[in-house]
């Protein structure tokens, strides 16, 4: 597990991060969400050791994070970049070797990764000759080629077409399933919502919310329920502990002061007729995001 504690960083007089604290758990996809300039990239750069924090500590599996352990990190910076005139496979091999792989092992990893990401046929093309989407795939490959135990990906999906998004999502999920910790940032909240197990929300350099996605959704949801049934629900307005939000014949949305009140409503509706649906309304990621920042 990767644990950040009270990371603080300022550029000159401008504070960038203020007491950033959160955890990235093993085998899980952690979404890192925040507006432009919220501090995502700075946090990631500090994680990778590209920038130094002014204060705060980072631990990996309980030990202070050092350069040695960072070699096992995979990083995809916000600003994409590989050597334009170098062949795709060659750059992957070079990067893997920089991370300590032997030539042979680096070659094997590069080959299987290129197949996996659908770049097998372009392995000997220079990067600049690839389409933009394929360049993005190559970039992902560059962050995965040394079998990292921790993946830090800054906006990995930006600029990808939907097909490539699926390929990349699949690749990341597989890494998480085999035990890697994956931290990724994104502006595309629906992808984050679909993909992440855990969620970290940052705004103005401080963490506004973090934890399991479902727990966060529950925590940030009003105790709101939607019900649809065959009979008229006009009686809801008179129920104690119930606040009607919307009412239209057999359909209603209401807030319950306590779960028991909602169950009482369900029983009454069942007594009156057939209930076609009854569901607690969970906050979407976009709602949580707007609420906390």
Partner 1 sequence: MNATTADRRSPRFAHSVALVAEREITTRLRSKSFLITTGILLLLVLGGVIAGGIMSKSVSTTPVAVVSSVSSELSNIPGLEITVVDNRTEAEALVTEGTVDAAVVPSEEGSTIPVTVIAASDAPSSLMQGLGVSPELILLDPSDTSYLLSYLAAFGFGIIFFASGMTFGPMIAQSVVEEKQTRIVEILMSAVPVSALMAGKVIGNSLLAFAQIIAIAVLAIVGLSVTGQAELLALLGAPLLWFVGFFIIGFILLAALFAAVGAMVSRQEDLGTTMTPVTMLIMLPYFAIIFLHDNPVALTIMSYVPFSAPVGMPMRLFLGTAEWWEPLISLAILVITAGLAILLGSRIYNNSLLKVGSRVSWAQAIKG
Q: Interface with partner 1 by CB under 8 A: which residues?
A: 45, 48-51, 67-68, 70-71, 73, 75, 77, 79-86, 94-95, 97-102, 104-105, 108-109, 112, 142-143, 146-147
Of 276, 272, 277, residue with least CA distance to 235: 272
Spacing of C-alpha 262 from chain mean position:
33
Q: Looking at beta carbons only, is 153 or 200 nearer to partner 1?
A: 153
Q: Looking at beta carbons only, is 23 or 93 nearer to partner 1?
A: 93
Q: Looking at beta carbons only, is 180 or 256 nearer to partner 1?
A: 180
Q: Identify the DSSP state of 128.
A: G
Of 3, 41, 49, residue with least CA distance to 22: 3
> CB 25 → partner 1: shortest distance, Å?
21
Q: Tell me how crowded residue 14 is: count the other CB atoms within 10 A of its CB.
A: 8
Q: Identify the DSSP state of 156.
A: T
> CB 122 → partner 1: shortest distance, Å?
18
Of 133, 137, 131, residue with least CA distance to 113: 137
Q: Looking at beta carbons only, is 32 or 73 nearer to partner 1?
A: 73
The answer to whether the CB of 130 falls within 8 A of the CB of 138 is yes
Q: Looking at beta carbons only, is 13 or 104 nearer to partner 1?
A: 104
> CB 181 → partner 1: shortest distance, Å?
16
> CB 172 → partner 1: shortest distance, Å?
15
> CB 203 → partner 1: shortest distance, Å?
24
Residue 224, φ and ψ in degrees, nearest 5: -110, 140
């Amino acid at each position: 597990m990767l644990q950040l504690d009270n990371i603080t960083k300022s550029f000159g007089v401008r504070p960038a991060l203020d007491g950033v604290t959160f955890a990235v758990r093993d085998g899980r996809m952690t979404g890192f969400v925040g507006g432009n300039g919220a501090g995502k990239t700075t946090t990631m750069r500090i994680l990778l050791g590209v920038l130094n924090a002014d204060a705060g500590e980072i631990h990996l599996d309980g030990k202070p994070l050092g350069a040695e352990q960072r070699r096992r990190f995979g990083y995809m910076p916000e600003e994409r970049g590989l050597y334009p005139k170098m062949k795709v496979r060659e750059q992957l091999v070079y990067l893997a070797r920089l991370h300590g792989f032997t030539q042979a092992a680096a070659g094997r990893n590069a080959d299987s990764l290129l197949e996996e990401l659908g770049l097998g046929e372009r392995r000997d093309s220079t990067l600049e000759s690839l389409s933009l989407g394929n360049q993005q795939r190559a970039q992902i490959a560059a962050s995965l080629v040394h079998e990292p135990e921790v993946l830090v990906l800054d906006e990995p999906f930006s600029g990808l077409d939907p097909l490539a998004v699926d390929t990349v999502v699949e690749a990341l999920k597989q890494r998480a399933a085999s035990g890697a910790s994956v931290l990724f940032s994104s502006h595309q909240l629906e992808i984050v919502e679909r993909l992440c197990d855990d969620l970290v929300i940052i705004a103005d350099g401080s963490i506004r919310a973090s934890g399991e996605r479902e727990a966060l959704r529950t925590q940030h949801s009003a105790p709101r329920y939607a019900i649809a049934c065959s009979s008229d629900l006009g009686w809801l307005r008179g129920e104690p502990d119930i606040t009607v939000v919307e009412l239209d014949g057999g359909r209603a949305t209401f807030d319950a002061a306590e779960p028991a009140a909602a169950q009482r409503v369900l029983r009454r509706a069942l007594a009156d007729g057939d209930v076609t649906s009854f569901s607690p309304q969970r906050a979407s990621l976009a709602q949580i995001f707007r609420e906390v920042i």
